[in-house]
Amino acid sequence: MINEAIILAGGLGTRLRSIIKNMPKPMANICGKPFLEYIIEYLRKQKIKRVILSVGYKYEIIKEYFGENYKGMDITYVVEKEPLYTGGAIKYSIKDVNSKEVFIINGDTFFNLNLNIFYNLHKNKKAILSIALKKMEFNQRYGVVEINKDNKIIGFFEKNKRNNVLINGGIYIINCDFIQSLMAKEKFSFEKDFLEENYKKYEFYGFPFEEYFIDIGVPEDYERAKIEFEKIQYKG
């Protein structure tokens, strides 16, 4: 089992700026705690021992809150001097990973899947890259991921498919050496410039999960998260 995770927590959060002024998006308050704390607590419960926080905008707020240890978990900070986007952030952070594989977690999404089950699916396919996919009965906001019966990713599509689809849930398992060998640019989107450009050349896998998922990237879903987290008591 992998015991390290990179959390991408360096985004500017421009769409939430009117609500969480002068605050990194992952530190948005949800029921009295930063959203990022729910993610880190989730990882702790999943037996992750070390978290690498890829940070940028007002990272000092994050570092002051969490320090270098959270309930026995080691926390390392990789600070972007300028925005590197998701791909550049992964490339920059992966240098601090000690193991051959690592979980990558988006810092503005919460996907309550079992990481051990996800890892076993990944391992059984001997995959170099796997994506946790969220089943959506109705989809307006997200691009769609298609897989074949063997769980190999066969397509990424824009928001034109809306009913009973799979979306990227923002949790990955990646082989560190493989990723580093292909990441030539310094600033790029992991989703658009890496996944969508390489899935036909290499075997990337996607595994569907039905567990609770939310993305706080827009004001409506941020407000929804506050209601739902109170209700289902994701308080650590």
pLDDT, tens digit, 9 for 90 and up, residues 27-67: 999 999 999 999 999 999 999 999 999 999 899 999 999 99
pLDDT confidence bin for 160, thresholds 50/70/90: low
Helix ranges (DSSP H) in 67-213: 85-93, 115-124, 176-182, 196-198
Give how many domains the chain has, as a whole number. 1
- Give the position of tokens 């421009």: 14
pLDDT confidence bin for 236, thresholds 50/70/90: very low
| CATH number of domain containing 137 | 3.90.550.10
Q: Is the pLDDT of residue 233 over 70?
A: no
The pLDDT tens digits of the residues spanning 190-208 come to: 999 999 999 999 999 999 9
Domain, as residue range, for 209: 4-232
The pLDDT tens digits of the residues spanning 4-28 come to: 999 999 876 566 766 777 788 899 9
Identify the weakest region by mean pLDDT among 66-75, 116-125, 179-188, 215-224: 179-188
Which distant-in-sequence residues (6+ apart) come within 8 Å of 131 by Cβ?
A: 145, 153, 168, 169, 171, 172, 195, 204, 205, 206, 207
Identify the weakest region by mean pLDDT among 120-124, 170-174, 212-216, 218-222: 218-222
